Amino acid sequence: MAGYRKLGKTSSQRKALIRNQVTALIYHGQIRTTEMRAKEIRKVAEGLIALAVKERDNFDTVTVQAKVAKKDKDGKRVKEVVNGKKVTVFDTVEKTIKKDQPSRLHARRQMLKVLYGVTEVPAENKGKKKLTKEIDLPKMLFEEIAPKYANRNGGYTRIVKVAPRKGDAAMEVLIELV
């Protein structure tokens, strides 16, 4: 007996499907799919959330100095002439950053092996590349999802049966984060 469902796909197609649906589940919080797919997605998603819960507080807070370009009232960089060349003026600013410890960094890389990159496009800029932003899903897992499930031992997802699909009568379900 196999340890997983084949879902009528080749291995590469199946892995891509599961990665895509796990990414959508974590980003949106719930997705609608067939029952067999949901059961496979649940395995992967619960593993990622458990990893995030385990490593959520495993970082050091470090203060660093960074150079930031000085800007004028219009938001343009301030330039001055030095030795006949225009040079941007920089200010030194202290920033506090989170530095992952090795186990958390490893967990982040394990998550990135499964999750696809998500680009968010604002509604008013639909169809344009400008003002889009990349969503950091491992950061979302560590900072938003993991604290919610800190006191919970597994069972991070719920599968609710909806109805048979009209075309092929496959049972459709709603898989959601609890």
Domains of the chain and CATH, by start: 11-58+101-177 (3.90.1030.10), 59-100 (no CATH)
Q: Which two tokens stand for residue 44?
A: 């992967």
Nearest CA to 173 among 156, 151, 158?
Answer: 158
Q: Which residues of 154-172 are buried (b: 16+ CB within 10 A; e: fewer)?
A: eebbeeeeeeeeeeeeeeb
Chain center to CA of 97: 19
Tokens of 36: 């067999």
Q: Cα 4 vs. chain centroid, distance in angstroms?
A: 24
Rounded CA separation 45/152 (Å): 15
Q: Hey, how many other C-beta atoms are within 10 angstroms of the C-beta on 101?
A: 13
| Nearest CA among 114, 100, 101, 104 for reference residue 43 | 114
pLDDT in tens, the chain (178 residues): 578 889 899 999 999 999 999 999 999 999 999 999 999 999 999 999 999 999 999 999 999 999 989 888 888 888 888 888 888 989 999 999 999 999 999 999 999 999 999 998 887 877 777 778 899 999 999 999 999 999 999 999 999 999 999 999 999 999 999 9
